[in-house]
Chains A and B, each alone.
Chain A
Amino acid sequence: MRCLRLKSLSVRSTALRSPVLLKAAAIVVTVGFAFPAGYLVWRNFTFQSDPLGVLFSQRTRGPLLRTLRLAVLVSASTAVLGTALAWLTTRCDIPLKRIWQTLLPLPLVFPTFIGAAALIRTLNPGGLLSDWLGNLGLVWEVEMRGLFGAWLALTLFTYPYVYLPVAARLRRLPGSAEETARLLGDSPLTVIRRVVLPQTATAISAGILLVFLYAISDFGAVQLMRYDTLSRAIYTTRLNNQPVSMALSVILLVLAAAVVLAERGATRRFEHMAPVRSRSPVIYRLGGAKPLAVAFLGGTVALALLGPLASLGDWAIDGIRLEASGGRDLLVGWDDVWTPTWHTAYGAILSAAVAVAVVLPSAYLAVRYRSRIGTVANAVIVSAFALPGILIGLALLFWTLKTDLGSHLRNTLALLVFAYIVRFGGQTMRTSQVAVAAVSSRLTDAARTLGAGWVRRFRSLELPLMAPGLLAGGGLVMLSVMKELPITLLIAPFDFPTLTTKAFNSIEEAFVAEAGIWSGVLVVLSGVLTWLFVVRRADHFD
């Protein structure tokens, strides 16, 4: 999912005049996507007596440095982990390859706060692991908190962002290049260094970018691990120290923008490397190292997937058993589960559908009509994807609190859906562009000469042909919205509890049984979606 690479997917050699309606739609959408960031900056510089003073004060330095430290560490570890896993599962003679390929992307189903809570439950002294080790007479004393805890949680639950594109790329690299290098006298390791890695570099860097953006904007893991990064500091100061909260937000915004700009510059240099399709990648024999490799894969799956699942189940079962044996009553009845589940599904589906619909005009303009407005709209929409959720939530929260216009939207589902779309709509851009490009202009031309007007062309021709791509993009949005935490916490209507808010509050208030139930439902829901839209379509990530 390289949303940030907008190579022109041209399907038409001659520029067409783009329809006015499309342009108008794209402009409105672009303004919408730019609004939260714009409002944040404007407010910061107009409502404070000394904006620059706060911006460069000691109070902002610590969170900024912690954010950078965490993001760099997580990027490095996911790059190594994701690439190694991709290499082993696509290019080595590993047993049960299909199973590993299915399991390895699945840690994406955990929102980081649930993953972090599960890690704490599993790995902290007194947790599941130390219980088991205790039975064997061993002592475990590594505590999951602070930088180490946040780093481990983010590494385990975001490495698929590197794994997926790298695995897709490795599967497609033509085996002939590697075979040629061997024939020219390189050893297998030299081939990896001189031929394979250079061709995989773009996929790795695309994955690292996503992880880095994820790490600087993450709220769940750092909140649970009590590691005071920018996003956590913004959240904790939002009520009692708004100037600092605003200043921190602007710093986070600048950081995200800088990352995106740096990525743009770096991508340009790589642009000549077109991916090549190949049916038969070279498979390397591991020989004696095979048990070690299997242990590595197994360890990753155990830590990132099975362990957390086990601890969620453990919580829920403990609680249910306790209630059944006459202990504390659970704070959830089975009827209560339905409402937040419905809210989560409804919000996610609605956001995904609207996101696809609002992004489509820009994709059309950029791909079909090569319009400048389309290009600008693309850039804004895709950049908004780098905008941390906490900033969008905060900007819209203040907007509803401080302005007349905004106050009408306070506590509405419309505002929440709008925020979700700004946050994740960019994810549909790439798939939408590919979908639009898939409808060759020859086909629409043919339909025109057969007498079909634009309504019929769109309905009978373009929509059916674009459907798979649009669905895939919508699926990504749906999955992200389900797991979203900071926006939901900040601006979801009071009467609209979702699984994330329920789970987060239960975890924070240490109602572990309830936390297990809410999290379990959420993870199962997002697991189904991940399988449908991510695992099954892993090849499309390159």
Chain B
Amino acid sequence: MPVADTAAPLLSVEGVHKSFGAAKVLAGFNLILHAGEMLSLLGPSGCGKTTLLRLIAGLEQADEGRVVLDGNTVDGDGAWVRPEDREVGMVFQDWALFPHLDVAGNVGYGVPRRQRTAEVSKTLELVDLPGMQDRTPDTLSGGQQQRVALARAIAPKPKVLLLDEPFSNLDTALRREVRTEVRELLRDADMTAVFVTHDREEALALGDRVAVMDAGRIVQAGSPSEVYHHPVTPWAAAFVGAVSMYPADAAGCAAEADFGAIPLHESCRGPVDVAVRPEAVDLHPDVGATASHTVEHIEFQGADAMVTVVNHVGARLLARVGGTRKLAPGDRVTPVYSGSPAAAFPRTETG
């Protein structure tokens, strides 16, 4: 969703520091979220994602910096708004359904008593669980529990919805289906949401924007395609998807690798490593003994195959090729770059 930069953000996290004992979890964290936006926070385990969500919800207090929600400072500058007064919804990783309450009791927990019955049935319609009011959480399937947790969080109409790895407890097949549903549902409800995950596919599929996080900071934030195609560090490139860092010589808006030219999205000069996504590489079979690379390894993945090829000095390149291609380790091939302009990083001579 395009958002005018001039609009005041709904949520801003400004220079937040948070430590637990000696462990620094957030180190000067900044984040801005506009109304109606869905943000994916992507990062490895232990990078501070969950702590950030808990800070926004008020379940933790920042050591430094501030959190501003809808124009009010809720944490920092001496201000403190308790979580129960923040109107921030949260879907927990293990869903945290109240085991002693039925579905209606769970979903209606945050709704004022008078509107409870009506709100509960409306929200249950929304998450596609109509008529399930009387069921207890332990009689529901994983996917249903997940939707009850979501319904409980959105029923009080929070200003911001926080989702902490909400699909990690579902099996892989279900996960893809549920996340599409959830995206549509939050979009229909015009919900502003922050969604935390360590699964890159999930992050790219769900977010209007993706923020890649590491060690308590945001490394890069942007649209999913921006983050995927134009990573700002080699680490971010590798974290967002499969990539080979391939040596080349940059000369302006292209870099010359040993198998041919790679277009760059930002002009650059000198020895570089180019972040090459596997799907941007095609492999041409050996014709006339001119091939520069040898097939080292093939991982068959069904529709396609991930092929690792290596040049005569040992530089490796990943290529995603059709699953029907007949290749075997030891075959001689020539890679051809066919993707969009790539990101290049100046070489550090120590490598």
Contact = CB atoms under 8 A, between A and B. Distances in A.
Contact of B88 (A14, A449, A453, A461): A449
A447 B99 contact: no
Contacts of A14: 20, 60
B58 interface: yes
Nearest to B162: A449
A451 B84 contact: yes
B156 A450 contact: yes
Interface in A434-457: 440, 442-443, 445-453
A449 B92 CA distance: 11
B83 interface: yes
B88 A465 contact: no
A522 B152 CA distance: 50
A448 B96 contact: no
Interface string B81-117: 0111111111010101011100000000110000000
> Which of A440, A451, A453, A464 counts the most chain B CB atoms within 10 A?
A451
Q: Which of B20, B84, B87, B92 has the most CB of A within 10 A?
A: B84
A161 to B, nearest CB: 32
A446 B100 contact: no
Contacts of A461: 98
Interface string A210-227: 000000000000000000
Nearest to A453: B84
A449 B99 contact: no
A448 B96 CA distance: 12
Interface in A403-452: 440, 442-443, 445-452
Contact of A449 (B20, B57, B60, B100): B57
Contacts of A445: 54, 57, 59, 83, 90, 92, 96
A371 to B, nearest CB: 16
B82 A448 contact: yes
A325 to B, nearest CB: 58
B181 to A, nearest CB: 21
B153 interface: yes
B114 to A, nearest CB: 15
Contacts of B94: 442
| Size category of the binding interface on chain A | 10 to 19
Nearest to B93: A442
B83 A443 contact: no
B168 to A, nearest CB: 14
Contacts of A464: 100
Contacts of A446: 90, 92, 96, 98, 152
B84 A452 contact: yes
Contact of B90 (A440, A443, A449): A449
A489 to B, nearest CB: 43
Interface string A447-479: 111111100000011001100000000000000
Contacts of B92: 442, 445-446
Nearest to B87: A451
A370 to B, nearest CB: 12
Contact of B110 (A13, A442, A443, A450): A450
B96 A451 contact: no
Nearest to A445: B59
A268 to B, nearest CB: 25
A340 B240 CA distance: 76
Interface residues of B, number: 27
A521 to B, nearest CB: 37
A105 to B, nearest CB: 29
Contacts of B86: 449
Nearest to A465: B100
Which of A13, A448, A452, A464 gathers most chain B CB within 10 Å?
A: A448
A450 B82 contact: no
Contact of B109 (A442, A447, A453): A447
A450 B109 contact: yes
A435 to B, nearest CB: 13
B152 A450 contact: yes
Interface in B112-156: 152-153, 156
Interface in B54-88: 54, 57-60, 82-88
A448 B153 CA distance: 11
Contacts of B99: 465
Nearest to B161: A449
Nearest to A449: B90
A465 B99 CA distance: 8
Contacts of B82: 448, 453
Nearest to A442: B96
Contacts of B60: 14
Contacts of B88: 449
A443 B156 contact: no
B101 to A, nearest CB: 8
A450 B109 CA distance: 7
B83 A449 contact: yes
A448 B84 contact: yes
Contacts of A453: 82, 84
Nearest to B54: A445
Contact of A443 (B20, B84, B96): B96
Interface in B216-267: none
Contacts of A452: 84, 109-110
Contacts of B59: 445, 448-449
A370 B100 CA distance: 26
Contacts of A443: 96, 98
A446 B150 CA distance: 12
B22 to A, nearest CB: 13
A450 B123 CA distance: 15
**Among B57, B86, B98, which residue has the most Cβ atoms of chain A within 10 A?**
B98
Contacts of A448: 57-59, 82-84
B169 to A, nearest CB: 13
Contacts of A449: 57-59, 83-84, 86, 88-90, 110, 153, 158
Interface in B278-295: none
Interface string B179-193: 000000000000000
6 contacts: A445-B92, A448-B82, A449-B58, A450-B109, A451-B84, A453-B84
Given A446-B98, A449-B88, A453-B82, 12 more contacts: A14-B20, A446-B92, A447-B98, A448-B82, A449-B57, A449-B110, A449-B158, A450-B89, A450-B109, A450-B110, A451-B110, A464-B100
Interface of A: 13-14, 440, 442-443, 445-453, 460-461, 464-465
